[in-house]
């Protein structure tokens, strides 16, 4: 089913993904908080498009938005959990506002949980579906700031492995995708990117999403890929080694074969 729901589709990476999927022939549901932004993206799409504004941490609003997209598009074959936020200041944890960190964790974890929970029943009923979680290197690499963001992306990575373990045999495929460094309002506001001149093209992100939606990356379900470093062809070339070493998935490193917690 070449239909997709993209959260956070009103601007930035979400907009780029939605436009890329539409160009590839997908019917696209645009979901996010700001109706005006979503409408503007919808006007850029010449194919089938559905707009549903919703606060993604509001369970009722999410259910209503997903139901609208499913009704208008005839179901959702690909879910892209793209919407996300980051702390307002680049600070180590003890100097930061813990309530702001919690705001980030709630948006970046509760949102994907609610949307996926609403979309999954339709996928399971059809025995086919794909869920892509927009992740980050912060989910598996320690940072000196943005504690809530790092925690949220680590949790999202575990969510990906949970969905894969629970629903792979029922036809659902799941992927973590880090977009690299795309030039957006969020990334350019971060001190850590000040002076950056090299950015990941949003088209590279959209192409990986398109390939996953089309089933080309199904063998990587439950794993992590990164735009700007990985391409469809490089991933397919590396696939035998990735599978043989069980790479690109969240786990606790063992000190050896005798490690009792391995």
- Give percent above pLDDT 70 in the chain: 93
The answer as to whether 255 is a domain residue is: no
Convert the pLDDT of each residue in 213-235 to its tens digit. Answer: 999 999 999 999 999 999 999 99
Helices within the chain (DSSP H only):
12-23, 35-44, 59-73, 98-105, 111-126, 147-167, 185-188, 202-213, 232-244
The answer as to whether 122 is a domain residue is: yes
The answer as to whether 104 is a domain residue is: yes
Convert the pLDDT of each residue in 181-192 to its tens digit. Answer: 665 666 656 666
The answer as to whether 97 is a domain residue is: yes
Convert the pLDDT of each residue in 54-75 to its tens digit. Answer: 999 999 999 999 999 999 999 9
Structural domain for 58, as ranges: 3-244
Provide the CATH number for the domain around residue 65.
Answer: 3.40.50.720
SS3 call for 6: strand
The pTM (predicted TM-score) of the whole model is 0.94
Q: Which of 26, 146, 149, 167 is catalytic?
A: 149
The answer as to whether 256 is a domain residue is: no
**Phi and psi torsions of 32, nearest 5°:** 180, 180
Residue 149 among the catalytic residues: yes
Convert the pLDDT of each residue in 31-55 to its tens digit. Answer: 999 999 999 999 999 889 999 999 9
- Please report which confidence band the pLDDT of residue 180 belongs to, taking 50, 70 and 90 as the band edges: confident
The answer as to whether 14 is a domain residue is: yes
End-to-end C-alpha distance for the chain, whole angstroms: 39
Q: What is the pLDDT of residue 201?
A: 87
Place of tokens 């907009």: 15
What's the number of domains the chain is made of? 1
The answer as to whether 129 is a domain residue is: yes
The two three-digit tokens of residue 158, written as one number: 């575990």
The answer as to whether 218 is a domain residue is: yes
């Amino acid at each position: 089913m070449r239909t997709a729901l993209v959260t956070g589709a009103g601007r930035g990476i979400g907009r780029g993904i939605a436009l890329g999927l539409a160009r590839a022939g997908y019917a696209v549901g645009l979901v996010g908080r700001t109706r005006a932004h979503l409408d503007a993206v919808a006007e850029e799409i010449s194919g089938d498009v559905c707009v549903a504004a919703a606060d993604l941490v509001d369970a009722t609003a999410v259910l209503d938005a997903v139901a609208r997209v499913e009704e208008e598009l005839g179901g959702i074959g690909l879910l892209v959990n793209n919407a996300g936020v980051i702390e307002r200041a680049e600070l180590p944890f003890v100097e930061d506002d813990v309530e702001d960190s919690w705001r980030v964790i709630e948006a970046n974890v509760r949102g994907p949980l609610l949307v996926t929970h609403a979309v999954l029943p339709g996928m399971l009923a059809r025995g086919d579906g794909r869920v892509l979680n927009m992740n980050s290197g912060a989910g598996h690499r320690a940072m000196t700031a943005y504690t809530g963001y790092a925690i949220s992306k680590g949790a999202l990575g575990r969510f990906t492995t949970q969905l894969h373990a629970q629903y792979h045999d029922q036809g659902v495929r799941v992927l973590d995708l880090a977009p690299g460094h795309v030039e957006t309002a969020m990334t350019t506001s971060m001190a850590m990117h000040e002076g950056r001149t090299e950015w990941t093209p949003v088209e590279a992100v959209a192409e990986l999403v398109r390939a996953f939606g089309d089933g080309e990356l199904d063998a990587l379900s439950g794993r992590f890929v990164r735009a700007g470093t990985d391409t469809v062809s490089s991933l397919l070339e590396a696939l035998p080694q990735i599978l043989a070493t069980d790479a690109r998935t969240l786990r606790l490193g063992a000190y050896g074969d005798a490690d009792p917690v391995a």
